[in-house]
Structure 1
């Protein structure tokens, strides 16, 4: 049987019997295969189980599922008997504590992202290419969190749910793209401070930053929708389907961005370490460099490693480990807005970043 907790069993096929002579439950040296047509279409949160009648109940001993889709299931059994398909629900029970953390954390995060966006727009002393990137990241995360908070469970009508899933797909991918640009900008700034002045040029922003930040996610979502539009929206949530490999249209780009940013941050920290050792007599510049180091570490944790926990939630893992990962992933990510406001606004004074202008 599966390690998942199953419930709400029901018969979902005709009963097929196989015997040799008058003998029942005959063991076979070579397994026999049966293809069962489902009487009801299998739902996304259901599992097919190949069973046979044993005495007064159904049993799956000696039988296994070879393949299964919405309409049929292929079974293989090492004996003859009366066979059928049972459906079982694998839908997880909602954790009220995790739900409360999500809603409270997202509400606080939305407030902080709104304040951060206002700060980046109205506080001229800190305005530079870095704050432009932070602003776009804050806007994307704000819209994504707001849509998640208000519409993730609106599964009816189906078309609206698919649209919500597609917009969420785009906004979260755009957030990661802006995270990638932040990692690139920080790396170039630390590598050569003169590069930062070049990056702040208007032409560079218009011709590269915005088309890349918003265009790449649009291309990914357009291709994904063209290849599998039916995988946008499920019966329980307006998000990408976990059936098949469609979820990798989101997890794939995320994985690549995390790897690239991880390499950026490691290289940045190595450069900063060398700079700190050569700035013993230049206290103001050393202070600025330490501030950059702090931000590099904060970005690595907040915008990179925390999302990496999500990979452990894609495939089934043991329940205790899954619970710990789920709580860690939820707490860190719903408070991203708080981290952004704290690091990039409250700790970002003009005197901290003269080198970035």
Structure 2
């Protein structure tokens, strides 16, 4: 009687596609522990070990039939028995049993190639495919506290075997209840051991992102692991067709600026005896621009997977330091211009240049070192997405560079710092133009002043770095023109400074020549 009852019970559960086994209480208890928030569960603090334990228990579970489904409030575990004649498998939340309506739709599609690697050397009688769906992402928090679409993490493993480099990808679909326009979405997988402070980090390697519809994200990945979709607020998407032209403009412009900055510093070294504090400030600005261009050109090359992560982190910190230093020296140029034109002419401050160097080079170094001490993971490989038109929708092409990975740091110490510097220099530029206009109205002959004033205005605009304000117009119809103007002007910034230096030297030489001619003529008269 007991045997018949057990057989009936097993057949009943098989029909319901949710099988109870001897290990299921332990599995359910572990799943319930894992779904608790950080701080309330001991297991959630050591999530790698317990997630691996959950995987092991699923692989070893014994049950009737070909599949098993276990679920709690925010975790769902699926087990499938496969063989070498596997022809593919499609899973969808619409067809899975007992899926709460509150869960957003999701799906996974496995190709027939999935079991090919396991069946090459031998033909095992049974292969197990486990799928673990986490509908809360607290166990997969990276150092950047990245935002995930729906907070969903969908994972799959095959019989303790690594599955990589599939010819036909695994398709993982995520749906959202609203349109994803205005967001940059990137398909990623959890790379265990890729972070110093967390048990892993999100990586886009081996995954391609597509958007068949405004509310759906399709991830095509060539390996098995835990998948999710990173979400970032963005302006209008940048077409992938512009990626190559922008990279070419940046490469050419930065290379020209590097040569121009080196040439300027050589000319300055040649005529160093004739220099003053103003020229020395210009040279410090050239030095920061030179460092910025060199580190920028290297940043994309050092973000490759073959390069050690520590190298990319150091280069990202150097690039951030160079940018902060460049912005600081632009602000120093504006402050120096204000002192020269407004407050005290021929101003003297004890060790003026030394104090400016401490500010221009030391203050950015202090900020970067402080970040490295507090949380060095803010620097490293950073993914930039370009939208690309596909036959079935819109996808994304990812470009990596060594840069600031934290959105908070980027907002405060890049956009905020740059915004304050640009605002200050714009005010100084407007004030300097007002001074020039007032002086011009006091002159009787206006025409001789016109050409010189035009050159002066252009020179001050370059010197104060006001073209960096274009970064704040990356929205709506301004996006594409802003991208090209910003890339052209700021990649050639060192070259423009070189032209300013040459014109300034020519002006000083002309004044010196005029003074010498005046002195010689007066001597001849006497």
TM-score by length of 2: 0.49
1:181 aligns with 2:181: no
Aligned partner of 2:175 in structure 1 is: 60
1:325 aligns with 2:482: yes
Aligned partner of 2:498 in structure 1 is: 341
The whole-number CA distance in structure 2 between the counterparts of 1:132 and 1:334 is 23
Question: Cα deviation per residue 1:137-167 (whole Å; 9 max; x = unaligned)?
Answer: 1111112211221344303311111111111
Q: Secondary structure at the match of 2:251?
A: helix
Question: Offset at 1:280?
Answer: 3.2
Provide closer, same or farther for how the CA distance between residues 16 and 62 of structure 1 changes in structure 2, counting only shifts above 3 A: farther
**301, 313, 316: which is aligned to 1:162?**
313
1:168–1:239 contact (8 Å) kept in structure 2: yes
1:48 aligns with 2:189: no
Question: Offset at 1:123?
Answer: 2.8
The whole-number CA distance in structure 2 between the counterparts of 1:26 and 1:162 is 43
What RMSD in Å do the two structures reach over aligned CA positions? 4.4
The whole-number CA distance in structure 2 between the counterparts of 1:202 and 1:24 is 74
The whole-number CA distance in structure 1 between the counterparts of 2:405 and 2:511 is 44
The whole-number CA distance in structure 2 between the counterparts of 1:240 and 1:218 is 15
Provide closer, same or farther for how the CA distance between residues 24 and 130 of structure 1 changes in structure 2, counting only shifts above 3 A: closer
Larger helix share, 1 or 2: 1
**In the TM superposition, what are the counterparts of 1:110-259 in structure 2 within 5 Å?**
110-123=258-271, 127-155=275-303, 156-191=307-342, 195-199=344-348, 203-206=351-354, 208-235=355-382, 236-259=400-423
Provide closer, same or farther for how the CA distance between residues 186 and 292 of structure 1 changes in structure 2, counting only shifts above 3 A: farther
Q: Secondary structure at the match of 2:403?
A: coil
The whole-number CA distance in structure 2 between the counterparts of 1:112 and 1:43 is 39
Question: Offset at 1:88?
Answer: 4.2
Q: Which runs of 5+ in 1 are unaligned?
A: 1-12, 29-33, 52-56, 73-84
Provide closer, same or farther for how the CA distance between residues 107 and 280 of structure 1 changes in structure 2, counting only shifts above 3 A: same
1:109 aligns with 2:287: no
Provide closer, same or farther for how the CA distance between residues 27 and 246 of structure 1 changes in structure 2, counting only shifts above 3 A: closer
Q: How many residues align?
A: 308
Aligned partner of 1:87 in structure 2 is: 228
Question: Offset at 1:42?
Answer: 7.2
The whole-number CA distance in structure 2 between the counterparts of 1:228 and 1:184 is 33
Question: Offset at 1:60?
Answer: 2.4
2:467–2:490 contact (8 Å) kept in structure 1: yes
1:295 aligns with 2:456: yes
The whole-number CA distance in structure 1 between the counterparts of 2:495 and 2:244 is 23
2:143–2:377 contact (8 Å) kept in structure 1: no
Q: Which runs of 5+ in 2 are unaligned?
A: 1-73, 79-92, 104-133, 153-171, 181-189, 191-197, 202-225, 233-237, 383-399, 513-526
The whole-number CA distance in structure 2 between the counterparts of 1:255 and 1:166 is 20
Aligned partner of 1:307 in structure 2 is: 468
Name the stretch that deviates more: 101-110 or 345-354: 345-354
Provide closer, same or farther for how the CA distance between residues 216 and 257 of structure 1 changes in structure 2, counting only shifts above 3 A: same
Provide closer, same or farther for how the CA distance between residues 282 and 123 of structure 1 changes in structure 2, counting only shifts above 3 A: farther
Question: Offset at 1:124?
Answer: 5.1
1:180–1:261 contact (8 Å) kept in structure 2: yes
2:257–2:494 contact (8 Å) kept in structure 1: yes
The whole-number CA distance in structure 1 between the counterparts of 2:379 and 2:98 is 50
Question: Cα deviation per residue 1:195-218 (whole Å; 9 max; x = unaligned)?
Answer: 34334x773223x22212212212
1:278 aligns with 2:393: no
Q: Secondary structure at the match of 2:302?
A: coil
The whole-number CA distance in structure 1 between the counterparts of 2:456 and 2:463 is 10
Higher relative CO (Cα under 8 Å, sequence separation at least 6) belongs to 1
1:177–1:257 contact (8 Å) kept in structure 2: yes
Question: Cα deviation per residue 1:71-123 (whole Å; 9 max; x = unaligned)?
Answer: 89xxxxxxxxxxxx963478985711111111111111111111111222223
Question: Cα deviation per residue 1:240-261 (whole Å; 9 max; x = unaligned)?
Answer: 1153444422222211111111
2:334–2:464 contact (8 Å) kept in structure 1: no
- Between Structure 1 and Structure 2, whose CA radius of gyration is higher? 2
The whole-number CA distance in structure 1 between the counterparts of 2:272 and 2:135 is 69
1:106–1:149 contact (8 Å) kept in structure 2: yes
Larger strand share, 1 or 2: 2
Question: Offset at 1:305?
Answer: 3.0
